[in-house]
Amino acid sequence: MSDLQISLLGIGACVVAGVYAFNLWQERQFRRRSEAAFAREHDDVLMPAAPAADGAAETRIEPTLDAPPAAPVFKAPVPRARAAVMVDPVIDYVVEAELAAPAASAGLHDELIGLALDWHKPVLVAGYDAATGVWQPAGMDSGSEHAQLRFALQMSNRSGCIEQEQLSAFRDAVQKWAESRGGKIKCLDIDLAHAMAVQLDRFCADVDIAIGVNVVTRDGAPFSGTKIRALAEAGGLKLESDGVFYLRGDSGNTLYTLDNHEPMPFMPEQIKTLSTGGVTFLLDVPRVADALREFEGMLACARSFGSTLGGTLVDDNRNALTEDAIDKIRRQLTGILATMEAGQIAAGGARALRLFS
């Protein structure tokens, strides 16, 4: 190796070390700023939660079997146990308005919803009830007036991360409304709020996993729709109008689904004459509480399908799902759930249902 090559290697090593050190410094700086920002006021914006809508479209991500999940980069503060989360500064950009006199927020709520319509992000409103000393839902059709209000824009979901310009537009709309009523606002600095939104979005992307198990024909003879429906219903799954079988929990939340491995959905009026070369079981990990248990139930159901229909279990690359492969999925799933718990965004919890929608 020549002196020039040795020199270039040395310079490259120094550059890599410098970048790594700079990234560590940036992460420490951001964590210090974000924790200080949340610590100021997050306790008094917690309110009873509205149930999240289920059945949102999801992005299929096959598990990476050989790599352990990355350590969480986003640490959320722990809310008080006395109340469930509604307006939540961990996942919402919150603008608080203090007015000269109580006023209805319905008009502004309508305006904010219209503003955020193309952003695909929910808008929430909370009003402070001085008589009870608690925050309660306000906005459209609430019929209530408040002198203190909090307007919240969700910073991330499966549509992506909120843009900095959108945060500014949201804040400016609330500020204009409040000032017209002799009020004032307070909120996080836009730059800091957007940096927190980006970190939150990255955290969610790291744990947004759907585990799929396919049962495909072993000898080329297709599975009949009638047999598929009978087996699915015996396992507690019900065919719904979108042509997918759902196993739902007591509250109506989806535990896992069964879909046609081929493009044609299982439409109720056609399933008697339909045949297919395979079916797909799917578990949307972030939206399922006790996802490890539900994975075992889904796996047992898939094995029952394979045994009864004469099929075999494969992954999306049509590789056989051996016991070793399944154990790797279990380990990865356990790691993902631990990462979500450490980030205070438990799978199937109120925050997760909002973020992964």
Residue 153 lies in a domain: yes
CATH, residue 305? 3.30.1400.10
CATH, residue 181? 3.30.1400
Residue 97 lies in a domain: yes
Same domain membership, residue 328 and residue 193: no
Q: Which of 128, 65, 62 is nearest to 329 (CA)?
A: 65
Provide the domain limits for residue 261. Answer: 208-355
Among candidate residues 163, 180, 206, the one where a domain is terminated: 206
Please tell me the predicted confidence (pLDDT) of residue 116: 97
**Total number of domains in the chain:** 2
Residue 273 lies in a domain: yes
Angle CA 160–202–333, to nearest 5: 105
Residue 39 lies in a domain: no
Distance (Å, whole) CA 97 – CA 116: 19
Same domain membership, residue 337 and residue 220: yes
Please tell me the predicted confidence (pLDDT) of residue 316: 86
Same domain membership, residue 252 and residue 175: no
Three-state DSSP at 81 gives: coil
Please tell me the predicted confidence (pLDDT) of residue 10: 54
Same domain membership, residue 220 and residue 145: no
Distance (Å, whole) CA 308 – CA 96: 59
Same domain membership, residue 234 and residue 176: no
Same domain membership, residue 268 and residue 192: no
Average pLDDT of adjacent 10-residue blocks, the chain of 357 residues: 49 49 43 37 33 41 39 38 64 98 94 96 94 87 88 97 98 98 97 98 97 94 96 97 96 96 93 96 98 98 97 92 96 97 96 97
Please tell me the predicted confidence (pLDDT) of residue 13: 53
Among candidate residues 150, 182, 206, the one where a domain is terminated: 206
Residue 24 lies in a domain: no
Contact (CB, 8 A) for 157 and 354: yes
Please tell me the predicted confidence (pLDDT) of residue 14: 53
Same domain membership, residue 338 and residue 256: yes
Contact (CB, 8 A) for 232 and 194: no
Same domain membership, residue 315 and residue 186: no
Same domain membership, residue 161 and residue 91: yes
Same domain membership, residue 282 and residue 177: no
Residue 47 lies in a domain: no
Please tell me the predicted confidence (pLDDT) of residue 202: 98
Helical H segments across 215-357, by residue range: 225-234, 291-309, 323-342, 350-355
Among candidate residues 138, 171, 206, the one where a domain is terminated: 206
Residue 12 lies in a domain: no
Please tell me the predicted confidence (pLDDT) of residue 209: 96
DSSP string, 227-268: HHHHHHHHTT-EE-TTS-EEEE-TTS-EEEEEEESSSS---T
Please tell me the predicted confidence (pLDDT) of residue 144: 86
Task: Give the number of other CB atoms < 10 A from CB of residue 278.
Answer: 19
Greatest alpha-carbon span in the chain: 81
Same domain membership, residue 328 and residue 247: yes
Distance (Å, whole) CA 189 – CA 186: 9
Same domain membership, residue 179 and residue 220: no
Contact (CB, 8 A) for 134 and 45: no
